[in-house]
Each structure stands twice: as C-alpha cells, then as structure tokens.
Structure 1
Amino acid sequence: MNAEEVANLCEALSLKENEGLLMSLHSGLKDGGSRRLSLRLAGKLLSVKHVNREAFLSVLPRIWRTVKEFEIEILEGNIFSFTFKEESDRRSVLRGGPWSFDKALLVLEEPTGKGDIREMKFDKVAFWIQIHKVPLLCMTSEIGRFLGSMIGEVKEIDDGGSGDCVGKYIRVRVVVDVTKPLRRMLRVDVLGDGKETNMLLRYERLPDHCYRCGRIGHVVRDCSIVPSSVEPEDYNLMFGSWLRA
C-alpha cells in the first residue's frame, strides 16, 4: 500500500466518524422484519444478458399458481425478491422447482440473517435426476441415496414408499452446484472387483447449458473458455441436449 492509498484510507475513516456513532437495532424493532423475511425468497435468473423483466413479472404468477398473490420486486440486474402471504406458497415454490424463464434457470435462495443480497451466492438448485444403466443389484432406495450423494446433497428418493426403486432408472432429487460443470455419469465399482460401471445421468427440467464447459447460464457462443485445438467440433459428444430427461 503506497502513501496515497494510506491517505485515502484515513480520509475514509474520518468521514465515517463524522456520520455518527454505530447504533444497534433493538430486538423488538427487528420482529416485523424477521417475520417478513421468513416469507421471502430471493431469485436470480442465470443469463449473460438481462431478461425481459416485464414479461417475467407477468408470466411468473401464472407459472407458480400460488394460493394467494405474492409481491415481486426487482433488486438489480436479473435478481428479484419474492414476498409471499402464506408459508405454504413459499414451500410449494421451493419444492416445485427447478424453474426457468426464457431458457434461463431461476436460482432461489432462502434469505437468512439480515438478508443481505450481496452475501447470497445463488449457486445451488435442486434437480430431479434420473440415474440410468443401473444394475438390478443397485435398484434400492439405500443405494439410490448413496448414488445421489455422489452428485450433491440428496433431498428425496422416488421409491414410491416401498424402499425399492422400480423401473428403468433411479430417480433422486439432488442439490446441484450450478457454478460447476454438470455431472454426466457416475463411475461405480459395484462388486468391489475393480470393474467399473458407468451410470448415465439425465436432468429433469434442465434449461439451456453450455455444450463446451457444461455449465448452466450460457450457451457455447457466450462461453469464455477458449476451445483447444483437439476439442471435438460436435460438442454433443461432451455435453448436450441428451442430458435432459
């Protein structure tokens, strides 16, 4: 830090002191804000461009179909605040996701603490994921939960309440880190004999994603990753529409 930076810092400190003493809010004053915060969600549409806000504000109530009307506030860019009148409406919106608009994924956050938008990462979304090519030995709820944990935090297993996963695949609801490339498969040594079994993943209600880097929020033409000289021209070989259930 040079002399000029030190001087600027000292000036900022002196100005802050001129604004008065640091005051604390009494707990009683925060009760109303806390109640309202418990009925709120913050959401960010993952897109490299600003979405049509007017269309979003018009369409969303018809998509969510809440029992009572809710308030939508534009905070900044593609970030919005949603305030519900009933906790049951808030829960149904969270449970009914993932949601998207104009091919952009809507990432929802439950505000905590003081609800500072700048501290929200908007990086986690729960997807229903189908795990295909699962050996019959592994078609149980317990193993399904283990397989789901290889992807992220498991929220729910679709076993029909029987404890067994019946059908062509295992269906599990998992919290996915949307800042990372999508997982395409699970590599599992089922019998402990060193032989690898590849189980393919399919995401339900998956919005547009990049076929080059595998991340949600942009497509190939907007990808910041420079392609290598050996990269295949057909990006579907790596990621693609086949990841959608």
Structure 2
Amino acid sequence: MEDELANLSILDAEEEAFQEDVVVIEQNFQFSLVGCCLTDSVVNFSTLHNTMADLWYPIRGICITDIGNKCYLFQFFNEVDVQRVMAGTPWFFNIHLLLLHQIQKRENPSVLSLIYSEFWIQVHELPAGLMSEPMARQFSDFLGKFLHYNTSIPSSGNKNYMRIHVLLDVTAPLKRKKKIQVGGVLIVYGSFKYEKLSLFCFICGKLGHGESYCPFRLRIDPSKIIFRWDLSIRAVPR
C-alpha cells in the first residue's frame, strides 16, 4: 500500500509544471536561403557544399549547413549575393533541381515546404496577335504563378515565340501545350518549352526522376506504358 502511494506521489510530481517566463529567441536569417535537391537519391553534403560555393562564388563568402531531411541552409552576408543567386534560378546539383526559398521574417527553415521553382518558359506556335501580356498572364496561370513577361519577342530560326517567367509547382506534371480559341472560329495550340530543364520523366512528366525510376512502373504493365513526354519540351539554350 505504501509503495502504491509512493508511486502516485511520483506521478503527481511529474505533472507539476515548471513556471518560466516566455522568452522569444529569433535567429537571424537575413540574407539566407533554404534549399533541397529534388531527388530521392542520397546527396553528398560535402560535394554539394563545394560545388555550390564554387558555382555561386559569393563576394563575401557563404556558410552552408545541413539542417536535416535533405534540406540545407545557405547563409550569405549581403543582399547582392542573395539576389544574384535567386535571379539565376533554376540551379542544379548533379542534374538534380535545387529548390530554393529566401527565408522571410519569422519563418522556420526546418519546417518550410519546398515545392516551387522559378522557370523561364517559351510559348511557341502562336500567331503574332496573341503575343501580349494579357495572354502571357493567362498562360502563366495555367502553368503556375505569373512572375514576369519578356516584352521583347525572341525568335528561334524564323519563328517568334513568347517568353514568360513562372513559379512552378514541382510536384505537378509539366504542361506541354494549351488550346486557344480565337474569335470562336480559329483554334491554335501554344506549345511550351522549358529553359534550363534538367531531369524529368517521359512517363509521368514530373521533375526529379527519369522514366526508369517512375512510380507508375509499379502499377502499370510494362507493355501498356506510354511515353507522353519527350525532349521537345526542353528549350534549346539561348
């Protein structure tokens, strides 16, 4: 009986909370990015550290930290380096897309969901009259989120195309084309080509893996697999 009472006393003591004033400790993430590689493969941190430091070559240096779950903290020491890196997206490490996000005030880099990346996308096969900012915004809303529109009209050979800057959800399949009906009569298709496009799957159209490692292979008979994507969506380097 005494032992049981002693055990109850211990349990009661465990439930008595220490009283402590709330102290908010904010880590300074100014000039910092959080990033991860879009791959299920193991990433060698030492190699990534050296590769990205050499590739970006920041004016004031860089501190790169592994914060777990295949995520990395990139700490710069001035705004110029941060903006130069963000302006150069998308970046890649060993052909894998490096997803980057500039950390905002009160954001915790360890719990951020990294599923977006910026891409410049070319829209081909459009009549000249459809190459406008309103049309660029419509295409951007279809592809992802509108960021910027190149007001000049680039050309490939003797053909012009529209160029738009879009924030893409990398968990979604890449869009290949979009149907446009003009005046209720004329129907055209705008075809998309992605600049700096690296590894993607010809089966499911998603970034981050090739067709050999596509999850659809686990659910579909090999004889019924259809390759709906191909290299035609990769833009020729400008």
Structure with greater strand percent? 2
CA RMSD of aligned residues (A): 2.3
Residue 230 of structure 2 is aligned to residue 240 of structure 1: yes
Following superposition, the deviation at residue 220 of structure 1 comes to 1.5
**Cα 1:23/1:45, change in 2 over 3 Å:** farther
Separation of aligned partners in 2, 1:49 and 1:190 = 46
Residue 210 of structure 2 is aligned to residue 227 of structure 1: no
Q: 2:22 aligns with which of 15, 21, 24?
A: 24
Contact in 2 for aligned 1:139/1:166 (Cα 8 Å): no
Separation of aligned partners in 1, 2:16 and 2:182 = 67
TM-score normalized with structure 2 length: 0.82
Separation of aligned partners in 2, 1:55 and 1:197 = 47
The equivalent residue for 1:203 is 194
Separation of aligned partners in 2, 1:209 and 1:22 = 52
Range with greater deviation from structure 2 (96-105 or 68-77): 68-77
Separation of aligned partners in 2, 1:138 and 1:115 = 40
* Aligned pairs for 1:181-196 within 5 A: 181-193=173-185, 195-196=186-187
Amino acid at match of 1:227: I
Residue 150 of structure 2 is aligned to residue 158 of structure 1: yes
**Cα 1:18/1:116, change in 2 over 3 Å:** farther
Contact in 1 for aligned 2:67/2:110 (Cα 8 Å): no
Following superposition, the deviation at residue 65 of structure 1 comes to 3.0
**CA radius of gyration, larger in:** 2
TM-score normalized with structure 1 length: 0.80
* SS in structure 1 at match of 2:37: strand
Separation of aligned partners in 2, 1:166 and 1:108 = 28
Separation of aligned partners in 2, 1:61 and 1:118 = 21
Range with greater deviation from structure 2 (223-232 or 117-126): 223-232
Separation of aligned partners in 1, 2:33 and 2:21 = 28
Identity %: 24
Following superposition, the deviation at residue 51 of structure 1 comes to 1.9
* SS in structure 2 at match of 1:200: strand
Contact in 2 for aligned 1:41/1:111 (Cα 8 Å): yes
Q: Deviation string for 1:60-83 (max 9, x for gaps)? A: 122223222111001124211000
The equivalent residue for 2:166 is 174
Q: Deviation string for 1:108-160 (max 9, x for gaps)? A: 12223543345311111010000011111112233223322221211111114
**Cα 1:19/1:105, change in 2 over 3 Å:** farther
The equivalent residue for 2:126 is 134
